[in-house]
Every structure is written in structure tokens, then in C-alpha cells.
Amino acid sequence: MKPLRVVDVVEGTSVDGPGLRTSIYLAGCAHRCPGCHNPSTWDFKAGRDNSVDELLEIIDRNGYNVTLSGGDPIYQAETLLPLVRAVRSRGLSVWCYTGFSFEELLAQDAPNGARELLREMDVLVDGPFVESLRDTSLMFRGSSNQRIIDLPASLSEGLAVLHTLHDGPPLPKF
């Protein structure tokens, strides 16, 4: 199985989705959004190789839901599929941040494995970071053009359905 190129793993973060999460920051991003908070992840060779088993060991140790960020995880979509399937088989949810729009990922020319990966995840935070639309009051996103999308509902409806966030205790595992 091909390894994933990982820049960092943050255990127990609360900024990349509801509740405590294990966030995996993957290498590589061609979007290169001005004002990006993580430009060190743009290089596709940044970080180091991690096997699915190495990442699952960290995830299992914590038992937190998982967020994929980066860079842009979609560039490693095919390689991410076994990890995401294993995480979901453990009853954990998976959020993914991408600079692509949901509609772009459904298109015929989407990166390899992107559409299949969408079917395996729970939430997609889509769209490039736009510095002029930066809004620090938004939950779990950096600019107002980005959407928090409920993937199962969106794929069922054939269009982007926004995820319903609420105040109060963390959302239950999906």
C-alpha cells in the first residue's frame, strides 16, 4: 500500500471540526491561496511518508474523530481511501478541508479517487481561502466563501447540502 505524505498530525485539536479531533495535515497544494495559514504544506514533498497503519495507531490511541487538512488532501485521494475506510469502520467521522469546490470534485476531470473519497467521508469544507473574505467569526473555516457540506446528504441530493452546526456539546459521532 502506497504511503501518505504527511506534514503533521495534531492530536486532540478542537479547531478543525466539532469536539476533539485528530487532524492529519497532508502535503501538497496547488491552490496556493494568498494568506493561507499553512503554506509550509504546499510542497508535495514536504513532511514524511506515513503508512495507513502508523496513522491508525495514532487515531486508535486517541479515539477522536478525524480531520484531513493540509495542503489539500484531495491530491492524495486514492491513497487516503484505505485510511478513511478504516477510520469509518471504527465508528469515527471524517471531515476534509479542500480548496476544490464540491462541484469540481464531482466533475469528470476531478483528481483520481476524489469522487470515491467523497462517498467515504462525512463532511467537506470546500473552496479556496479568499483573503478578502477572511472572517474569524466563522466556525471551522477561514473565509466566507467556504462551505461546510454534509456529504451523504449532498451526494444523495446531487447538490451541496450545508451541514447544520449547532452550539452546545460536540456533535455525536456519525
* 49-99 per-position pLDDT tens digit: 999 999 999 999 999 999 999 999 999 999 999 999 999 999 999 999 999
Q: Please tell me the distance from the alpha carbon of residue 28 to that of residue 26, in angstroms, as a whole number.
A: 7
CA distance 70 to 128: 12
121-163 confidence digits (pLDDT tens): 999 999 999 999 999 989 999 999 999 999 999 999 989 999 9
Among candidate residues 173, 1, 21, 2, the one with its CA nearest the CA of residue 97: 21
| Inter-residue contact 124 to 98 (CB < 8 Å) | yes
**CA–CA dist 22, 90 (Å, integer):** 14
pLDDT digits (tens, 9 = 90+) for 7-35: 999 999 999 999 999 999 999 999 998 88
Q: How much is the pTM?
A: 0.91
Q: Where are the domains of the chain?
A: 4-157
| Integer Cα distance of 83 and 123 in angstroms | 16
pLDDT surpasses 60 at 171: no
SS3 25: strand
Domain 4-157 has CATH 3.20.20.70: yes
- Ranges 119-123, 162-166, 167-171, most confident: 119-123
Residue 112 pLDDT class (50, 70, 90 cuts): confident
C-alpha cell at 144: 466566507
Residue 44 CB-density burial (10 A; 0-12 exposed, 13-18 middle, 19+ buried): middle
pLDDT beyond 60 at 36: yes
State yes or no: pLDDT of 173 exceeds 70.
Answer: no
Q: What is the pLDDT of residue 110?
A: 78
> How far is residue 144's CA from residue 134's CA, in Å, rounded to a whole number?
7
**CA dihedral for 61, 63, 69, 72, sign (positive or negative):** positive
